[in-house]
Amino acid sequence: MADHLSAVLDALDQSQDEALERLFELLRIKSISTDPAYKDECAAAAEWCARTLREIGFEASIRPTTGHPMVVGRSHREVPKGMPHVLFYGHYDVQPPDPLDLWTSPPFEPQLAEDPRNGTVIVARGAEDNKGQLMTFLEAARAWKQVAGELPVAVTVLLEGEEECGSPSLPQFLEKHAQEITCDVALVCDTTQWDKDTPGITTMLRGLAGGEVIVTGPNRDLHSGLYGGPAINPIRVLARMLAALHDDDGRVTVPGFYDGVAEVPSSQAEQWRRLGFDEKAFLGEVGLSVPAGEKGYTALEQLWARPTCELNGITGGYQGPGTKTVIPSRASAKITCRLVTGQDPEKITANLQKFLAERVPPDCTVEFTPAHGNAAISFDPDAPLVQAAAQALEDEWGRPAVLMGSGASIPIVTAFKTHLGMDSLLIGFGTDDDCIHSPNEKYNLTSFRKGTRSWARILQRLASV
């Protein structure tokens, strides 16, 4: 198969416009999984993916779940004896695009734009996370099929539609289809590179736990003149609860929160220092200058090796223009904790819930709805599959791939490990300034083009591990 590689790369270079148009088609579908109003759009995105897989030459089917469907595709009906078999995982769902008024172009009308630092970029919700990234793999597979008639390794593709809302249907699906889904390794394209010119493989991921807290006081909204003073104000109660979550050094105060959390080993800390992470540039990019996490840790340590407790949303009372002198009946906040190795998501959630419940004054009630959690995870950076992929990346980018941590959580990676005993290779082509989950999400055109070429090379390298 090695003979085919340069022809595959040429084919990718020659079909760039068609590849981009295919990505734009997918980006136009408003597959916002967390909002039930977009159920049909999620189904449409799944249909589109299945159709595309069949067009490439895969067998593909849509698998209903209690939520949004899974799409499963297979390059080989029977995997030839001795041929490696990899699972490619991606997700076709996206985050909500709000706040809409901050987008410079409509989030579901993909466009090319010029960016002073990154050159041409693709702008749309999902341009990077995860539609752009998953299409790098599908385009590589398409070129291999077209040029060589088959892929160098057997590939099963699993595309999920609930990644952005905690993957509620996933555990049951993996359990039911364990045999079909379990491969030698999973390829997961949902991460960033080290920087825009340097590839990376992520070997550490943080986990996630949390939920929504609702504080209710009076049984209805009250006039702040006629009741202000004697009537408890739920926003005030909620603010006091949330303010108590951190101490003045940025440490989370929930009892037991740091149970099982190890300090960064000095050898690893030293290795990370050598990466020359530009803290000032990283924060400066988003308008900040001082690492705001736990005192005594570098920004990279705060990001890769330390847990957090974040307030993702808060709401209560009047939020329109002008003044409304109301004491609201309720106020609520969405909280998520990023976890590191050693923390148990269920214990963290229970402790958080208890911490909040203990701070409810008389006449108020607190409801807590836990979100789906998952533990942190890490892989051996010296494993042969990791090294083979790293070499393929170096071949494409002309620089060694950095073996990185990530502050984000990818529940599927934990699920593959815990349910199927399968490791993952986390390779993505995003950059830190892609604005994923934010207005004006983009994907560098270079990420998309060199990403497809990278996968073409990785598939070939994996064939000989």
CB neighbours (10 Å) of residue 88?
23
Tell me the DSSP string of 203-249. Answer: EEE-EEEEEEEEEE-SSS-EEHHHHBTTB--HHHHHHHHHHTTB-TT
Q: Using the rule CB under 8 A, which residue among 50, 254, 327, 420 binds its own copies?
A: 327
Residue 139 in the binding site for its own copies (CB under 8 A): no
Residue 452 in the binding site for its own copies (CB under 8 A): no
Q: Using the rule CB under 8 A, which residue among 82, 229, 276, 421 binds its own copies?
A: 229
Q: Using the rule CB under 8 A, which residue among 20, 154, 208, 393 binds its own copies?
A: 208
209/194 Cα distance (integer angstroms): 26
Q: Using the rule CB under 8 A, which residue among 198, 367, 437, 446 binds its own copies?
A: 437
Residue 380 in the binding site for its own copies (CB under 8 A): no
128/192 Cα distance (integer angstroms): 9
Q: Which residues contact 379 (CB under 8 A, 6 or more apart)?
A: 203, 204, 386, 423, 424, 426
Q: What's the number of CA atoms in the CB half-sphere (13 Å) around residue 424?
A: 30
**Residue span binding its own copies (CB under 8 A) among the ranges 227-235, 343-351, 387-395, 415-423:** 227-235
Tell me the DSSP string of 109-177. Answer: S-EEEEETTTEEEEESTTTTTTHHHHHHHHHHHHHHHHHHSS-SSEEEEEEES-GGGT-TTHHHHHHHT
Task: For tokens 């198969």, name the residue.
Answer: 1
Partners of residue 223 on adjacent β-strands: 326
Q: How far is CA 67 from CA 52, 64, 72, in A?
A: 22, 8, 16
Return the number of the residue (244 or 463) whose C-beta is nearest its own copies: 244
- Is residue 374 within 8 A of residue 343, CB to CB? The reply is no
Residue 378 in the binding site for its own copies (CB under 8 A): no
**Residue span binding its own copies (CB under 8 A) among the ranges 45-53, 78-86, 114-122, 292-300:** 292-300
Q: Using the rule CB under 8 A, which residue among 18, 310, 346, 358 binds its own copies?
A: 310
Return the number of the residue (76 or 236) whose C-beta is nearest its own copies: 236
Q: Which residues, numbered 153-182, are part of the site for its own copies (CB under 8 A)?
A: 164-166
Return the number of the residue (136 or 440) whose C-beta is nearest its own copies: 440
**Residue span binding its own copies (CB under 8 A) among the ranges 57-65, 107-115, 236-244, 256-264:** 236-244
CB neighbours (10 Å) of residue 225?
9
Minimum Å gap between C-beta 12 and its own copies is: 28
**What tokens appear for 60 in the block?**
């593909």
Return the number of the residue (84 or 405) whose C-beta is nearest its own copies: 405
Q: Which residues, numbered 258-277, are part of the site for its own copies (CB under 8 A)?
A: none
Return the number of the residue (116 or 230) whose C-beta is nearest its own copies: 230
**Residue span binding its own copies (CB under 8 A) among the ranges 95-103, 342-350, 375-383, 389-397:** 95-103
Residue 287 in the binding site for its own copies (CB under 8 A): yes
Task: For tokens 């005594």, name the residue.
Answer: 296
Residue 117 in the binding site for its own copies (CB under 8 A): no
Minimum Å gap between C-beta 170 and its own copies is: 15
Q: Using the rule CB under 8 A, which residue among 40, 98, 109, 380 binds its own copies?
A: 98
Q: Using the rule CB under 8 A, which residue among 2, 55, 64, 102 binds its own copies?
A: 102
239/233 Cα distance (integer angstroms): 10
Residue 286 in the binding site for its own copies (CB under 8 A): yes
Q: Write the binding mask 73 to 92 for its own copies: x where contact by CB under 8 A, - elsewhere.
A: --------------------
460/463 Cα distance (integer angstroms): 5
Minimum Å gap between C-beta 441 and its own copies is: 10
**What tokens appear for 463 in the block?**
């064939």
Q: Which residues, numbered 402-421, are part of the site for its own copies (CB under 8 A)?
A: 406-409
Residues 374-398 as b/e (b if ≥16 CB within 10 A, e otherwise) read bbbbebeeeeebbebbbebbebbbe
Return the number of the residue (46 or 252) whose C-beta is nearest its own copies: 252
Per the document, the length of the chain is 465
Q: Which residues, numbered 19-38, are part of the site for its own copies (CB under 8 A)?
A: 33-36
**Residue span binding its own copies (CB under 8 A) among the ranges 206-214, 257-265, 268-276, 346-354:** 206-214
**What tokens appear for 109 in the block?**
């009308």
